[in-house]
Each structure stands twice: as C-alpha cells, then as structure tokens.
C-alpha cells in the first residue's frame, strides 16, 4: 500500500520531461515507490518543446533539489549530448531515458530496453536464439534494439521511415553485435518477436506500425504505447492469437529500477 507523499522543503524533485506529456503514467507510480521506501521525493511531469530543451536543462541543472531527470519522447536522443558520461547501453543506443546528477554534471542511462525485454519475459517469451523485427529507431527503439541483441536474438531487422536514423543505429548495433542487425520492413512474416517502438497507436487514426494481416499465433507482439491501455497493434495481435505485451508491461518492469536510480539506491555504470 502506497504511503502518503510527504512534501516539504527537503523534498527532492525529479522531473519527467517530454512533449507531449499527457500520456505518461510514471509520476504517481514512481513517487509511490519512493514514499513506500520512506524517501522524500516526487516525480513531476514537465512539457517542454524540443527547441526549449537546452534552456530548460540549464535551469534544471541550477535547481539544487533536482537530483535526476527522466526523459521521454521526443528528447531521449537530444539529452544524450547533455550528459558528461553515459552507460555502455546508452552509448550504443544513442539515447538516454534517465539522467542522474553527479555534482554539476549528468550521468545518463537507457533503461527502456531493459524494461521492454523484462516485460516480454514476464509474459513468458524469450527472444534468445530467435529472429526479431523492431519498428522504430528513436530513443526508445535504440535502447530496445540494443537489449534485443544483448539477450541473444539470432538477428534483428530494423525498420524506420527515417532511413538515415535507421542506418546510424544499425551501424552502432553491428559494431556492438557484428552481423546481427539489418534493415527490415513492416512485413512481420518470419519473425518470432514483432516489436513496435514508435508512438503509432497513441492517437486515433494512426496507421498500424506493421502489416498485422500477416501475424500468426506463433509470434509474440510487443508495443511501447501505454495509452490506450490496449493499443491497436496489440488488439490486432490478440485477434490473431499472438502472445502480447502492451506498453504498460514495459513501464511496470522498469519502474523499480528507475526509482532506485533516482533515489541513489543503484548507480549507473558509466
């Protein structure tokens, strides 16, 4: 049971920055974990346009009661440049989703892939030795791509409409995992894991990220979208008899990790 939040002059503030920000569900959950641990902290959503991000980060750095920042769409790639040091997985993915203060500097990590694959594992699917298709080479997609290969996928096909972004990520992945990553498409046939790391499905009328008419019950389908609770891709996959994980599974799997990083219980290896 979540304890009552304590808010006073000693409260540590942890912004979660993105645009848009209405879809995030983590502030209450992460603040609740802190309260349950007896830690005086609060996660607060902040809506910042991309062009305003540098100025806002400078102000956040000047706030002495801000010990960490959670980063969401579309700032994960941009925030990497503001970190003095980053973890190996953040470097390989080219993005961060959490920044922890170290004096006057920030240390960055990318835990989205960790949460995504842990959420998939919680549903009984293991990607080791299996081929995977991932749609989306942005900040979350980059971290997820790295983790898919780190957990032993036989190959990763990556699709993104921004081919320059896709190819840059493929180059980083093949440096870390030689010969394991290649360009893919929206055709899911032949893949054991079909994964979406784009916002498609968040807004009504969005196109589906893959050709769902080709899905079969032997495949596992995962999504990053948290709102609606059952995104269109997941609804289509369930109709085809697939095992599934919606975005809430990814968040739930990494919530404790994020909270412990913010509280200083864990540290980022950078």
The pLDDT of residue 34? 96
The pLDDT of residue 58? 96
What is the rounded end-to-end Cα distance, in angstroms, of the chain?
A: 34
3.40.50.720, 3.40.640.10, 1.10.10.60, 3.30.930.10: which CATH number matches 113-249?
Answer: 3.40.50.720
Domain assignments of the chain as residue spans, ordered by start = 12-111+251-263, 113-249
Q: How far apart are CA 72 and CA 53, in angstroms?
A: 12
Residue 17 pLDDT class (50, 70, 90 cuts): very high
Give the bridge partners for 66, in sequence order. 13
Q: Is the pLDDT confidence value at 4 over 80?
A: no
* Sheet of strand 105-109, all strands in order from the earlier edge strand to the far edge: 41-47, 12-18, 68-71, 98-102, 105-109, 85-86
Domain 12-111+251-263, CATH: 3.40.50.10860
Among this protein's residues, is 76 annotated catalytic?
yes
Q: Is the pLDDT confidence value at 172 over 70?
A: yes
Confidence (pTM): 0.84
Instruction: Answer for the pair 66, 41: CB distance below 8 angstroms, yes or no.
Output: no
Helix pair angle (26-36, 247-263), 10° resolution: 40
What confidence tens digit (pLDDT) does each residue in 217-243 have?
999 999 999 889 999 999 999 999 999
Query: H helices within the chain, ranges in order?
Result: 26-36, 53-62, 76-80, 88-93, 112-122, 139-150, 163-176, 232-239, 247-263
Percent of the chain with pLDDT over 70: 99
Q: How far apart are CA 93 and CA 250, in angstroms?
A: 17
The pLDDT of residue 2? 54
Position with higher pLDDT, 92 vs 19: 19
| Sequence-separated (6 or more) residues with CB below 8 Å from residue 247 | 223, 224, 225, 226, 227, 231
Q: Do domains 12-111+251-263 and 113-249 have the same CATH topology?
A: yes
- For residue 107, the surrounding DSSP H or E stretch is strand 105-109
C-alpha torsion sign, points 171, 173, 175, 181:
negative
C-alpha distance from residue 57 to each of 38, 75, 251, 267, 268 (Å): 28, 11, 24, 21, 20
Give residue for tokens 């999504």. 223
Q: Which of 76, 91, 130, 165 is catalytic?
A: 76
Q: How far apart are CA 240 and CA 227, in angstroms?
A: 21
For residue 3 the two structure tokens come to 């304890």
Query: H helices within 37-111, ranges in order?
Result: 53-62, 76-80, 88-93
């Amino acid at each position: 049971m979540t304890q009552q939040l304590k808010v006073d002059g000693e409260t540590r503030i942890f912004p979660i920055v993105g645009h848009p920000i209405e879809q995030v569900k983590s502030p209450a959950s992460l603040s609740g974990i802190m309260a349950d641990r007896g830690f005086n902290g609060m996660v607060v959503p902040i809506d910042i346009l991309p062009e305003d991000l540098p100025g806002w980060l400078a102000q956040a750095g000047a706030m002495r009661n801000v010990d960490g920042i959670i980063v969401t769409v579309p700032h994960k790639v941009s925030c990497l440049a503001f970190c003095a040091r980053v973890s190996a997985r953040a470097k390989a993915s080219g993005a961060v989703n959490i920044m922890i203060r170290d004096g006057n500097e920030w240390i960055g990590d990318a835990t989205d892939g960790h949460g995504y694959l842990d959420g998939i594992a919680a549903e009984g699917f293991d990607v080791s030795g299996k081929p995977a298709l991932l749609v989306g080479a942005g900040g979350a997609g980059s971290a997820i791509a790295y983790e898919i290969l780190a957990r032993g996928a036989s190959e990763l096909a990556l699709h993104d409409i921004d081919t320059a972004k896709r190819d840059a990520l493929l180059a980083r992945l093949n440096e870390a995992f030689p010969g394991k990553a290649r360009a893919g498409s929206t055709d899911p046939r032949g893949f054991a894991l079909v994964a979406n790391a784009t916002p498609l499905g968040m807004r009504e009328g969005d196109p589906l990220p893959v050709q769902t008419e080709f899905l079969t019950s032997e495949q596992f389908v995962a999504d990053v979208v948290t709102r609606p609770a059952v995104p269109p891709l997941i609804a289509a996959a369930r109709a085809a008899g697939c095992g599934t994980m919606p975005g809430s599974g990814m968040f739930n799997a990494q919530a404790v990790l994020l909270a412990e990083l913010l509280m200083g219980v864990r540290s980022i290896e950078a």
